[in-house]
Structure 1
Amino acid sequence: MEKRTLIIYTVITLMGFIFAVMSGYSQEDVINVEDSAFEKKMRPAVPFLHDKHNETAGIDECNTCHHVYEDGKENEYDSSEDQECSECHTINKGDNSMSLVKIYHLQCKGCHQKKKAGPIMCSECHPR
């Protein structure tokens, strides 16, 4: 093999290796939006690119989505990001709370409809 050809193959191989390694580091973690309260799921959990979504939507505060209510009023200084939604909301409508399914859809789909951006159909969020 000619020296020039060997150098070209070496450079291409190194570029491929560097690209493969770097793409692994640049991928965002996919979060599955799910809750342990859903024992029997009609559709699979929603795969979600959290950071990319928030950047695109211009969401800076965690409590925009991860809200906390105290005595029926939203506490704008607290966030519930370390909790499952089912810690406050139940599968069926309970005392002073909406059903778990309804709040998930209202939180995501409601915002998408309001901003006229993002998925609103079942299959756009829940892959089969």
Structure 2
Amino acid sequence: MNVKRIVPHLIVVLLVAFVWLPTALSQDDIVELKSDAFMKHTRPAAVFMHDAHNEKAGLEDCFRCHHLYEDGKLVPEEDSAGTACADCHALKKQGGQPGLMTAYHKQCKGCHVEQDKGPLACGQCHVKD
């Protein structure tokens, strides 16, 4: 075994791992709020760092964002975590239930307005590359 030939390859592998690994691991918390229900996107999907947001906002209960309705009534302190918004919200408004885009905006922006914190302008969440 020729060590002089192996060392340069090992260094390259380690450098690639060193550069790539932190990037790969840091994306575990990034959620792109994107639904296939929207056929055409006019803006990029919102990027939402779930855990960092909840920590900064002091949110511990899932039901604060992941609400649950049964028979048209909010079920207090129950959540719909793990269920996609599009599973309950159609693209267009249905009766008293908001359409999908309105539901996203009402949930996020509504809380930001209520708390007087967080982004409100379109480009603050829907960031163009």
Residues paired across the two proteins, number: 112
Q: Please give the alpha-carbon distance, in whole angstroms, between the structure 1 residues aligned to 2:76 and 2:37.
A: 26
State the SS of the aligned residue for 1:83: coil
Larger radius of gyration: 1
Change (3 A) 1:61 1:124: same
Alignment of structure 1 residues 71-82 onto 2, 5 Å: 71-82=71-82
Alpha carbons 1:32, 1:47 under 8 Å: kept: yes
Cα deviation for residue 95 of structure 1 reads 3.0
Listed one character per residue, the Cα deviations across residues 15-51 of structure 1 (whole Å, up to 9, x for unaligned) are xx98x96786567521111222112111111111100
Superposition TM-score, scaled by structure 2 size: 0.75
CA spacing shift, 1:89–1:22, aligned 2, 3 Å: closer
72-81 or 82-91, larger mean C-alpha shift: 72-81
Which residue of structure 2 lines up, in the alignment, with residue 108 of structure 1?
108
Q: Residues 113 and 72 (structure 1 numbering): CA distance in 2 closer, same or farther, change over 3 Å?
A: same
| Structure 2 gap ranges (5+) | 1-16
User: What RMSD, in angstroms, separates the aligned Cα atoms of the two structures?
Assistant: 2.3
Task: Give me the TM-score of the superposition, normalised by structure 1.
Answer: 0.76
Q: Deviations over 1:95-122 (max 9, x none)?
A: 3311111111110011111111100000
Structure 2 counterparts to residues 11-90 of structure 1, below 5 A: 29-90=29-90
Distance 1:47 1:111 in 2: 17
| Structure 1: segments with no counterpart, 5+ residues | 1-16
Identity of aligned residues (%): 41
Instruction: Give the whole-Å Cα distance in 1 for the aligned partners of 2:33 and 2:109.
Output: 13
Aligned to 1:95: 95
Match of 1:8 in 2: none
